[in-house]
Amino acid sequence: MSKSHAALTFWRFPRVVSHRGGGVLAPENTLLAMQTGVKYGIPAVEFDVMLSRDKVPMVIHDEEVRRTIRNSEHIGKMFNELDAQELLTLDAGSFFDPSLSHIRIPLFEDVLNYCLDNHVFMNIEIKPATGFEMRTGIVVAEMTARYYDRLAQAGVAPLFSSFSFDALKAAKEVAPHIPRGFLMHQSLDEVPNWKQIVSDLGAVSLNVNKDSLTEEHVNEIKAFGCGVFVYTVNDLVEAEKLLSWGVDCLCTDKIDTFSPLAARLRP
């Protein structure tokens, strides 16, 4: 790896990140979730961005409108079959708590503004619907780029991530200055070309599943000049083990129990 790429991978992001905004303490991928992460002392959030039918970036995980949506005639439809104005009317809170039926799917731009105003770091997962990988990468990168200078000045320059090589490649072409991390479900041993993927994307991190990671993998990734971001870590003993291996960042659902660890690891 070239020295120029290795220099980019110095870990300058938070060490603990709240999964889908508020972990298990709020309806995922909502503004309330982002606020919950801050409330528990973890001003660093991971969330998913997908495009509506009319190409508006919105914050949601599932391609099918079902698991986190209640009381809608749109249940069972695909997210990108609906326009943003329809999606903004859907109940995205009562699946978590019946008293939260007023909670809505947020626009990506609303989350950008919240995180900018409150100095919250964002790991923005580009979550394209099938067949919309490049378009989603482009739209998310274009919008993020409009905020990037202000986010950087606030000390919370974001990190893109995605399981989609094509989405991250498109984001790189639009906004090469915004760092990228490549998400993997598989073990490093099952992706023999991972070094080529990292190089092609100019990725600063591999974002890997804790269940497929070994200490040897961590050493190999870091020797290649790449950061190690691990998901989803909910046990503090396991967290300490991963940190002892040299893992750079932990993504967790247990933001209440991980709050002291986040404070300890804060620069």
Catalytic residue set: 19, 61
- Report the C-alpha gap between 254 and 18 in whole angstroms: 8
Nearest to 56 by CA among 33, 40, 75, 79: 79
Strand 205-209 versus strand 180-184 pairing type = parallel
Q: What is the largest CA-CA distance in the chain?
A: 54
- Report the C-alpha gap between 36 and 256 in whole angstroms: 10
Tokens linked to 118 = 């409150």
- Report the C-alpha gap between 239 and 78 in whole angstroms: 36
Strand 44-51 versus strand 57-59 pairing type = antiparallel
- Report the C-alpha gap between 57 and 63 in whole angstroms: 13
Residue 106 Cα distances to 9, 12, 127, angstroms: 31, 28, 15
- Report the C-alpha gap between 94 and 101 in whole angstroms: 5
Beta strands in 53-204 (DSSP E): 57-59, 121-126, 159-162, 180-184
